[in-house]
Amino acid sequence: MAQKEIHEILDDKLAEVRKNASADKLFLYNGGLYPTMICCPETLKILDTFKARSDDVVLVAYPKTGDNWVGQILTELEVASGKYDEEERKRRQKNEKELALFPYLEFGDPEKFERLEKLPSRRIIKTHLRIQNIPKSVFQQKAKILVLLRNPKDTAVSYFHFAKGMNLTSSQKTWDEFFTDFINGEVPYGFYFDHIIEWNKYLDDKNVMFITYEEIKEDPVLGLKRIAEFFDFSVTDQDIQSIAEKTSFKAMKDRAPKTHGKVGETLFRKGLVGDWKNVFSEGQSEEMDKKFEEHAASTKLGKMLKYEVYCKN
Ligand code: A3P
């Protein structure tokens, strides 16, 4: 039987969860919640067997901060930098398809770590994992890590719509219910501000770079240049310009039926900064402000979020 594309496998899984409304959609592993649809304890248990390479391109992002977008930017930069001809590009695509690798480190079957070794360099490795769960060899090999952040209010709204569209929780939650879960960290990958507090300790690590969704949105060319420089991708200004166009929200949304199947309908929703204003009540907004103040406002990384600009009316 022909190997399915990843988006076809995801479509099948989505149909399965939608059919089986009452099944457990989340499971607890080492104190963290994970979606049953795509993760399993066996894979999480052997995460540390993952062998990183020093030239791996690692993207770490809390869910809904825009990692499909930035992941695509990284893929395009890698291809442009590798100067592959069409034949080599096709060969690599075929190889990836045959390896049936889910695009996130913690997703899929446990055997994936062996298959990942068959991928040629430079590999793009994406994950939502908390720092303490990221395989140690990523740090030992000094692979470069890009940490993506997004303002917490838009992240929460995007997460709500995604959870709803993907039937991520056992009972369909209202926005108010989801907001309470989000603010208490009772969602897959936990409390968003914990990621900020933890990564704040890596501010001076030269192998780690931080970027925000808002920053790339405001000036994609500049954002892409920063990313390219950090990973030493050898690309021209023209490459950057064309990748910025190819990875615009509209371009990616238009291609979504092919690249992401049905999942794409939920994934490429609005792609805006400030949509939270249409959803948050005044009370919820104040509650988030308070949490931010308590947990992240005083950290350098928290300041990088420009909370006053993006999260205040
Ligand atoms: P919204 O739900 O606010 O529209 P992730 O990839 O981490 O799941 O994040 C999904 C969010 O990124 C969604 O936000 C989605 O619309 C947005 N997004 C996806 N592709 C994008 C792009 N090319 N440009 C801007 N935003 C994008």
Residues in contact with 205: Cβ distance below 8 Å, sequence separation at least 6, in sequence order: none
65 Cα nearest atom in ligand 1: 7
Give the helix/strand (H/E) hosting 27.
Answer: strand 26-29
Strand partners, 232: none
Return d(Cα 162, Cα 262) in angstroms, integer: 12
Nearest to 147 by CA among 215, 50, 246: 215
Least confident of 3-12, 217-226, 254-263: 3-12
| Alpha helical stretches, state H, 219-248 | 220-230, 237-246
CA of 68 to the centre of ligand 1 (A): 7
Give the separation between CA 188 and CA 35, rounded to whole angstroms. Answer: 7
Report the amino acid identity of residue 66: G
Residue nearest to ligand 1 atom 20, measured at CA: 69
Model confidence at 21: pLDDT above 60: no
Given a cut of 50, whether residue 1 has pLDDT beyond it is no
Please state whether beta strands 124-127 and 57-61 pair in parallel, antiparallel, or not at all (unpaired): parallel
Alpha-carbon distance 29 to 47, whole Å? 12
pLDDT on residue 191: 96
Residue closest by Cα to atom 2 of ligand 1: 158
3-state secondary structure string across 123-180: CEEEECCCHHHCCHHHHHCCCEEEEEECCHHHHHHHHHHHHHHCCCCCCCCCHHHHHH
Confidence of residue 199 (pLDDT cuts 50, 70, 90): very high
Determine which residue's CA is closest to atom 17 belonging to ligand 1. Answer: 271
The angle at the Cα of 219, spanning 309 to 268, to the nearest 5 degrees, equals: 85
* 195 classed as catalytic: no
Look-up of token digits 């009370």: 283
Q: For residues 313 and 309, give the distance between their C-alpha atoms in angstroms, rounded to a whole number.
A: 8
* Homologous superfamily of 6-151+190-271: P-loop containing nucleotide triphosphate hydrolases (3.40.50.300)
Ligand 1 site, residue 274, Cβ cutoff 6 A: no
For a ligand 1 pocket test, name from 74, 149, 158 the mutation site with the most ligand atoms within 8 angstroms of its C-beta. 158
> At 114, is the pLDDT very low, low, confident or very high (cuts 50, 70, 90)?
very high
Answer yes or no: is pLDDT of 158 > 70. Answer: yes
Which residue CA neighbors atom 14 of ligand 1 most closely?
271
First CA to last CA distance, the chain: 54
Average pLDDT over residues 171-180: 90
The CA distance from 170 to 22, in Å, is 6
Q: Is 34 in the pocket of ligand 1 (CB under 6 A)?
A: no
Ligand 1 centroid – CA 271 distance (Å): 5
Residue 2 reports pLDDT greater than 70: no
Q: Give the DSSP H/E element, type plus range, for residue 212.
A: strand 208-212
Segment 119-145, tens digit of pLDDT: 999 999 999 999 999 999 999 999 999
Distance, in Å, from the CA atom of 304 to the CA atom of 227, rounded to the nearest integer, reads 16
Sequence spans of domains, the chain: 6-151+190-271
Q: Active site residue: 7, 128, 195, 260, which one?
A: 128
Phi, psi of 146 (to 5 degrees): -100, 125
Ligand 1 geometric centre to CA of 67 (Å): 8
What is the model's pTM?
Answer: 0.94
Please give the Cα distance from 211 to 192 (Å, whole number): 16
